[in-house]
Structure 1
Amino acid sequence: MWDAYLSLAVENPALFWTIFVIALSTLAILLGQIVPWLTQLLLRRFLKEDAKTFYSRVVQPHRFLLTLTGAAAAFDIVAWILLQGVWYVPWYPTLEFGLTLALSTVLGLLLFRCFQTYFNEYLLSAALEGGRKTNSELLLVGRFLAIAGLILTLFTLFAQTHRINIIGIFASLGVGGIAIAFSAQKVLEQLLGGVVIYIDRPFSVDDYIGLPDGTFGRVEAIGLRSTKIRTSGKGTLAVVPNSSLIQATVENFTGAKKVMAIVYLNLYRSVGEEEQALIRQVILESTQDIFGLDNRSTNIAFRNLDGGRLTQVQATLFILGATGSSMEIRRQLLDIANQKMTERLKSYGISFDIEEPTVYVDSPITI
C-alpha cells in the first residue's frame, strides 16, 4: 500500500499532495486535542493545588485557541519529519516558513488572550489585596509593556530560528533613523507627539479643551502631525502641532466628570444603628484602596422595606473621570472590591443579596 501511494506521487502529483494534506491535517487535529490534557498535566506539576482553578479561569476560556496551537505545532513537526527527513522536498523551506509563521501567530494570540484573562482574574485582585492605592493607569502601562514584551520575544525567537539577522535589521533602522532625524527634525517631533497623544489619550475627538495661550474649543480631529480645534465664540479652526500639545498643560473640560456606581445590598432583616455603622465602615474600607475613587463623595443609605422586616443598603460610589481602558480597569477594581466587601460582611454574620449588575451613571461635574 505504501509503494502504491508513492507511485501515485509520480503518476498524479495533485492527487498525491491532496491526500497528503488531508491526512496530515486530520492527524494534526487529533494530536491537537491532546494539548489541553497535557497543559493541565503540566500545570498540576508546577502549580500543585491551584492548577485546576488556574486552568479553569485562565486557560479553559481559550481552549479552542489552545487546541488550534497544538494542531499547528503537530502539523509543522510531522511535515518537517516527512518532507525534510524521510523525503527531501526542495520547496519545503518555503512551506516551513509559512507554517512556522502561522504557528507563531496562533501561539501569540493564545498567549495574549491568556495573559489578558490572567491580568483580569489575578493581578487586579492581587493589587487590591496589597493594601495600597491601586493606580489604574500604572496597571494599564504594565499590561501594555507585558504584551509588548511578549510580541517582541515571539518575533525574536521566530527570527533566530529562521536565521533572520534581527540585530542587523535594528542596526540598519537605527542608522537610517538618525539620518532621517537630522533632515526632518521638526516633522518627526510632531509625528512623535501624535503617537504620544494616541497612546496617552489626554483628550479625544469632540472633547472641549483649553490651552495655556487662551485657546478654548472642541477637538475636531487628531492627526499624526497636528490637532484641529474649533474655537468657541469665534468658530475659527486652530491647528496646533502635536509637539506643542504634549509639552503644554492641556485642560480637558469634557473629562471633568464622575461615573456614579450604585450598589444595592438587600438584607433579610432589619438592622440597628450599630450594625449600620459596621456595614458603613466595611464598605468604606473595602473601596478606599481604589485609585480614582472619590471617597469623599461616597454615600451609604439605609431603607426599610416590607414594613421594616427587610433592609436595603444603597452604596453610591463615584469614579473620577477617566477614558477608555483606564475606566474599564477602575470598574473591574470596583467589582473586586465588591467581592471583598461581600466576604467581610458575611464573616460578621450579616446575610444579604447583592443586586447584579452594578448600575453605572454618568455624573457631569459643574465647571
Structure 2
Amino acid sequence: MLTRIATFLDTAGVNAIALRDVLITFGLRVGTVIVLVVLFVIIGRYTSRLVKLIIRRFLPRPIALRVQTLIDPITPSFSLVGTLILITLTRSLTILQPYPPLYITLEMLTELGLVAGLAWLTSRLLRQFVEMYGVDIIDRLGQGVNELLLVCETAINIVIWTFAVVFYAQNQNVNVVGLLTGVGIGGLAIAFAAQKTLEQLLGTVVLYLDSPFKPGEYIRYSTITGEVYGRIESIGLRSTKIRTAAKNTLLIVPNSIMANLDIENITRGKKIMVLLYLDFPRVLGDREKALVQQVVVRCTNTIYGIDPGSTNIALLDEPEAGISRARVTFFILGSTENSIQIRKRLLELANERISSELKDYGIEFEMLNEPTIYVESPITL
C-alpha cells in the first residue's frame, strides 16, 4: 500500500520528503495556535477579576461596590469575551496565514464571536442594571414604575444588536447600505408576489416579540363562530396550533390572525401572595397599632401592580414575651417573570419606606431573616 502511495506521489511530481516537511510545518503551526488558545482561555477566566481590580483602583469605594454587584452574576460572559479579545489583539491566528482558507475562516469566526460576545455582555449588563438600580432611579425621580421600563430595555437591546451586526458587516467589508437597498428592492417584488405569506410571517414576528402566549399555556378568545378555549401546542413560522379543551381537536390558526385577536391568557392569570412579618420589641398601644396600619397601607398601595384592596394587616400581642407582631399580606399581579421581578423590587423599596416612617414615629421593629415570603396563587376566574 505504501509503495503504491509513493509511486502515485512520484507520478504526480510530489516529493515525499517535501510533503512530510509541509505536514510537519502545518502541524507545528496548528499546534502553536491550539496552545495559545488554551493559554488565553486560562487567562480569560481571570478577566472579571482584572476588571474588578481596575474598578477598585480607580473608582470611589461606594461606586466600585455597586459596579461589582453588576459584574458578579455575569462572570462567565466576561471570561468568554476576555479570551476572544486576547486572541484578536495578539493576532495569534496570523501563524496560519500561509493557509488562506483556514486562516480567513478562523479569523472571521473569531471576530464574529468577539462582536457577539461584546453585544451579549452589554445586554446582560443592561439587564443587571435595570433589575438592581433602574427601579430605584425612576422611583427617586418621582415617576411611576411600570412595564414601560421593560419596553425600554427591549428597545435598547435591539439597538445594541443592530449596532453589532452593522459593525461586523462593515469590518468584513460588506456594503451595508447597498445590501439594504438591494434587499428593499427585492422585498418589494416579493411582497407583491407573496403578500399573504409575508403577512403570516410578519404575524409570527409580532407574536415572538410581544409574546402574548407561549407553548403550553391556555388561552381563550372569541371568533365569529363562538368562543375558543385551548392549550397552545406550538407556534410555527406560518401558524399557531391550539389543542381545544372541549373537542380535543387541533385548531390551526394563521399567525397573522392570532396577532390581531384579543386574547385572554388563562395561564398567566396568577397572582403572588406576599407575607411580610414585623416584630416589635414591646407591646404596642392602640394608637401605635393604628399608626402601623396607616403607614403600611399607604406605603404598599403606592406600589404599581398590587391588587387594590388586598392589603391585610394582623397585629398580634404576646404579653408573656413582651412583644407585638404584625403580619402583612397582599397580592402582587403580573403577567411575566420580568414584571414580577420589578414589583418585588418595588416591594423592597416599600419596606424601606415603612421602616423609615415608623422610626420617625418612634416605633422600632425588626424583620425576620427572611422578611418577605412569596407564594404563587392562581387568580379566581
Q: Structure 1, residues 118-167: CA drift from partner, whole Å, max 9, x if none? A: 121111222333333311x2222222122222222222222222212222
- Percent of paired sites with the same residue: 34
**Contiguous gaps of at least 5 residues in structure 2:** 1-20
Larger CA deviation: 238-247 vs 144-153: 238-247
Q: Distance in 1 between matches of 2:36 and 2:235?
A: 49
Q: Distance in 1 between matches of 2:357 and 2:98?
A: 66
**Residue in structure 2 matched with residue 197 of structure 1 by the alignment:** 207
Change (3 A) 1:53 1:282: farther
**Contiguous gaps of at least 5 residues in structure 1:** 1-8
Do structure 1's residue 122 and structure 2's residue 100 form an aligned pair? no
Q: Structure 1, residues 37-65: CA drift from partner, whole Å, max 9, x if none? A: 66347656986454312332112333343
Choose the corresponding residue for 2:228, options 200, 209, 216: 216
Do structure 1's residue 245 and structure 2's residue 254 form an aligned pair? no
Aligned residue for 1:133, secondary structure, equals: coil
Choose the corresponding residue for 1:66, options 53, 63, 78: 78
Aligned residue for 1:72, secondary structure, equals: helix
* Distance apart, 1:97 and its partner CA: 1.7
Contact map agreement 2:219 2:263 (CA 8 A) in 1? no
**Residue in structure 2 matched with residue 5 of structure 1 by the alignment:** none
Q: Distance in 1 between matches of 2:152 and 2:82?
A: 29
Contact map agreement 1:131 1:289 (CA 8 A) in 2? no
Q: Structure 1, residues 171-214: CA drift from partner, whole Å, max 9, x if none? A: 33322322222222223223322332333233444424131533
Do structure 1's residue 107 and structure 2's residue 118 form an aligned pair? yes
Choose the corresponding residue for 2:372, options 358, 361, 366: 358
- Letter of the aligned partner of 1:356 in structure 2? E
Aligned residue for 2:186, secondary structure, equals: helix
Choose the corresponding residue for 1:187, options 197, 208, 231: 197
Change (3 A) 1:149 1:306: farther
Contact map agreement 1:292 1:319 (CA 8 A) in 2? yes
Do structure 1's residue 160 and structure 2's residue 170 form an aligned pair? yes
Q: Structure 1, residues 296-335: CA drift from partner, whole Å, max 9, x if none? A: 2211221123636222211112122523433343334334
**Residue in structure 2 matched with residue 6 of structure 1 by the alignment:** none
Q: Distance in 1 between matches of 2:256 and 2:328?
A: 44
- Letter of the aligned partner of 1:317 in structure 2? F
Larger CA deviation: 187-196 vs 235-244: 235-244
Do structure 1's residue 303 and structure 2's residue 303 form an aligned pair? no
Aligned residue for 2:91, secondary structure, equals: helix
Aligned residue for 2:257, secondary structure, equals: helix
Task: Output the aligned Cα RMSD.
Answer: 3.5
Aligned residue for 2:309, secondary structure, equals: helix
- Letter of the aligned partner of 1:123 in structure 2? G
Q: Greater relative contact order (Cα 8 A, min sep 6): structure 1 or 2?
A: 1
Choose the corresponding residue for 2:106, options 95, 99, 118: 95
Q: Distance in 2 between matches of 1:297 and 1:13?
A: 76
Q: Structure 1, residues 194-251: CA drift from partner, whole Å, max 9, x if none? A: 3323332334444241315331322343534344455565666554433333333334
Contact map agreement 1:69 1:107 (CA 8 A) in 2? yes
Contact map agreement 2:221 2:261 (CA 8 A) in 1? no
- Letter of the aligned partner of 2:180 in structure 1? F
Q: Distance in 2 between matches of 1:95 and 1:203?
A: 40
**Residue in structure 1 matched with residue 299 of structure 2 by the alignment:** 286
Q: Distance in 2 between matches of 1:93 and 1:315?
A: 64
Do structure 1's residue 260 and structure 2's residue 279 form an aligned pair? no
Change (3 A) 1:59 1:228: closer
TM-score (norm 1): 0.80
Choose the corresponding residue for 2:187, options 177, 191, 216: 177
Q: Distance in 1 between matches of 2:76 and 2:251?
A: 50
- Letter of the aligned partner of 1:192 in structure 2? L
Q: Which has the larger radius of gyration?
A: 2
- Letter of the aligned partner of 2:176 in structure 1? I
Larger CA deviation: 58-67 vs 17-26: 17-26
Aligned residue for 1:219, secondary structure, equals: strand
Q: Distance in 2 between matches of 1:319 and 1:160?
A: 47
Q: Distance in 2 between matches of 1:201 and 1:102?
A: 28
Do structure 1's residue 21 and structure 2's residue 28 form an aligned pair? no
Q: Distance in 2 between matches of 1:102 and 1:226?
A: 33
Q: Distance in 2 between matches of 1:11 and 1:363?
A: 67
